[in-house]
Amino acid sequence: MNPESGAATSYSLVLPRGWVRVPLREGTAEALEEKVFRGLEKVPAGVPRDDGMAYRLYVRRRVEKLVGEARKAGGLDLYVPVGVRAGGAIAASFVVGEVAARGEASARAEAVVARLAADAGEVRGMGDTVAARWEYVRGPSAEEAEADTASRHVDYVLPVPGNEASRWLVVSFSTAGDGDPGSAFTHALADLFDAVMTTFRWSRTDSRTGSHTESRTHSRTDSHTGAGAGA
């Protein structure tokens, strides 16, 4: 049996300490309350005690907005850091979503990735396939009244094995960092995301037996991976 011959049914990632997965198709509210909002009782150093309630409300609204935007974009999972540093929460997140492709034969998946990456991107190995990667800085949106700084973005696009003709996965990371998209801290957060993506693996079904070659876990944590980043 060739474990790479079956269709992909799910994916897995190794998350750094302090990051959590929020599913967007079902169980979203429960995951938010248990994994994200429960930790808001602890106000980070640098935030005045009297501003604790306003801080909690701000974080809740920002995360709920991220969830809404990710759902509209066809997101499957949202990943956010729940750890804090002096002054507040770490302003970073990434979304895993699915997009449909038309008119591309599965045998041309690598060629499609190369063509995508030709537009100011690059091709990177991703698990047992390849992905197109872009990194760029985007200014604050006119609709974002609360955001007055630019953000750094990293996007990956890769074909879903066994379904390259119709299904592609998009993983999009963004961070405001420390307010400077070119600072060492902001770059460190982008580098941390790239490190997470090196752990990306597909879960597959054997095309002959129908059995799974890997568990269907969407994410698994590793307290040693990236433990010092974003602290």
Distance, in Å, from the CA atom of 73 to the CA atom of 155, rounded to the nearest integer, reads 14
What is the per-residue pLDDT for 84? Answer: 59
Residue 210: C-alpha distances to residues 9, 175, 213, 214 (Å): 11, 40, 9, 12
**pLDDT given for residue 161 in this prediction:** 83
Amino acid at the residue 6: G
- 3-class SS of residue 159: strand
Q: Which regions of the chain are under pLDDT 50?
A: 1-3, 106, 145, 207-231
Least Cα distance to 16 among 194, 158, 136, 135 occurs for: 194
Q: How high does pLDDT run on average in the chain?
A: 78
Q: What is the pLDDT of residue 54?
A: 81
pTM, full prediction: 0.78
Q: Token pair for residue 47?
A: 């935030």
**What is the rounded end-to-end Cα distance, in angstroms, of the chain?**
44
What local confidence, expressed as pLDDT, does residue 203 receive?
81
Q: Are strands 129-138 and 122-126 parallel, antiparallel or unpaired?
A: antiparallel
66 near 78, Cβ under 8 Å? yes
